[in-house]
A = this chain, B = another copy of it.
Amino acid sequence: VSEAVRLSDVARAAGVSLGTASNAFNRPEKVRPEVRARVEDAARALGYSGPDPKGRLLMGGKVNAIGVIHGALITTAFENEYLREFMAGAAEICDEVGAALLTISSLNEEAAATGVRSALVDGFILHNPRNIEKLVEKANARRLPVVAVDSDPDPRFNSIHLDSRGGARQAARHLIGLGHRRFAVLAMLLMRIGPSGPSYHAPGEGERKLADTSFDAHERWLGYGDALAEAGLPINQVPVVESSLNSPGVSEGARMLLDAAPDATAVLAMSDSLALAVIEEAHRRGMAVPRDLSVVGFDDISEAASAAPPLTTVAQPIKAKGRAAARMILEPPAAPRHQVLPVKLIVRGSTAQPPQG
C-alpha cells in the first residue's frame, strides 16, 4: 500500500505551483493547455484522480447530495410502496442535476438528530419525522436548507404538504353517500414502522386519542371525523385499529380490525397498504369486496389501480411531492415557502352500496 498522493505531490511532479495545479483541475481555462497537459500527465503517472473532495468541502463547497430523513429504517425507503414512490420522485430531480441521494437512518429521535448533525449533504428532506423542530434547529446550526414534508407546516421553514383532511373527508363522504352507516377505521402508526403490533381502540370512550401523533395521520383522522359528524355519526363511536406499516404489521392490523368490527360495512383505511391488507383479509374470510365490505384507501400507490378489485382511494401526487421536495433543497427559496398539494378521490371498484338488511 503506497502513500496517499495529494495535489501538492502532483504539482511538484509536474514542476508547477500548487495554485496552478489546483486551477488545472478546477478552472482549466485559466491555465495554458500545455501546462495543463503536463499536470494531467503527472496526475496519471501518480495515480491521482482529481482533488480529494474532503479538502474542497472544507472551503464551503457543495457536497452534491441531498439527505432524506423519513422516520423509519433505511430499509423502509426501499420496501414501503408509498415511500418508494416518494423517493423515486426525489431521485428524479437528483438524476437531472447529477446529485446523489443519501438515505439516513432515523428510526428514533436520536438517530435522526445524529443524522442531521453529521450527514454530509447540502440539505435535508424531513419526511414527517418526530420532533421536527429539533431537527430543523440542528440543520440551521449547520446552515443547511430544509424542507418539511407532510409535517405540521411552520412559517419558519419550507414545507410541502397535502390537504389530507379534505381528502379524508371526501373519502368518508363518498361512503356515506353510498349509504354506509357502520364504519371502522384502520389508522397508521407512522411513528414506529417497526416490530410493534397493532392496537385496538374500542368505541365510545369519549374523546379519542390516537397513539400516532404524526401530523398527517391526525389530519386524516380529523377529515374522517368531519364527514361522519355531518351524517350525525360521532367518530368516537367507530372502532379503530392503529397499525404499523411494515408488511406483517399491516396484515395483523387488518385481522384485528375485522375481528373487532364484524358488522362494519365500510372501512376507512388511512393508507393504501392498509386498505389492500383489509381486502386481502376480507377475501380470506370469504367476504366479497365491495359486495360485503367497502374499502377506501389513501395515497393511490401504483398497486392500487391494479388490485382486485381496483382500490377506491384518495390520490395524492406522491412522486410530484418527492420532486418538489428535492427541488426545494437544490434551489432553496429566499423566504420560506409552503406548498400544498392537491388531493383527489378516485372511485374505483372497492366501494359500493352496503349489503341489504
Chain-B contact segment, one of A83-91, A160-168, A265-273, A348-356: A83-91
Residue contact B49 to A58, C-beta cutoff 8 Å: no
User: Is B100 within 8 A of A49, CB to CB?
Assistant: no
A211 within 8 A of partner (CB): no
Pick the contact of A4: B65, B77, B119, B143 (CB < 8 A).
Answer: B143
Contact of A141 among B48, B58, B105 (CB under 8 A): B48
Q: Shortest CB–CB separation between residue A61 and chain B, in angstroms?
A: 10
B111 near A105 with CB under 8 A, answer: no
Docked complex: A46-91 residues within 8 A CB-CB of B: 47-50, 52-55, 57-58, 63-65, 67, 73-75, 77-79, 84-85, 87-88, 91
Across the interface, A119 reaches (CB within 8 A) one of B65, B77, B107, namely B65
B103 touches A91 (CB 8 A): yes
Q: Check if A117 sits within 8 Å of B50, measured CB to CB.
A: yes
Count of chain copies: 2
Contact, CB under 8 Å: B47 / A73:
no
A140 within 8 Å of B by Cβ? yes
Is A41 among interface residues, defined by CB-CB distance under 8 A?
no
A85 CB contacts on chain B under 8 angstroms = 78
- Considering the complex, give the chain B residue whose CB is closest to the CB of A97: B105
Bound Cα distance from A345 to B160, whole angstroms = 47
CB distance from A293 to the nearest CB of B (A): 22
Do the beta carbons of A120 and B52 come within 8 Å of each other?
no
| A104 interfacial contact with B, CB 8 Å | yes
How near does chain B come to A59, taking the closest CB pair, in angstroms? 9
- A152: Cβ under 8 A from any B Cβ: no
Q: Is the CB of A100 within 8 A of B77?
A: no
* Chain B residues with CB below 8 A from A52, complex form: 142
Q: Across the two chains, which residue of chain B brings its CB closest to A99?
A: B105
Chain B CB within 10 A, most for which of A74, A104, A143 = A74
Taking A49-B117, A53-B118 as known contacts, 12 extra A-B pairs with beta carbons closer than 8 A to each other, sorted by chain A number, are: A47-B140, A49-B138, A49-B141, A73-B92, A74-B91, A74-B94, A78-B87, A79-B88, A84-B84, A98-B111, A101-B102, A102-B103
Chain A contacts to B: CB under 8 angstroms: 1, 4-5, 47-50, 52-55, 57-58, 63-65, 67, 73-75, 77-79, 84-85, 87-88, 91-92, 94-95, 98-105, 107, 111, 114-115, 117-120, 137-138, 140-143
- What are 13 sample pairs from A and B whose C-beta atoms fall under 8 A apart? A5-B141, A54-B57, A54-B120, A65-B102, A73-B91, A74-B100, A75-B88, A75-B92, A78-B84, A78-B88, A100-B119, A101-B102, A101-B103
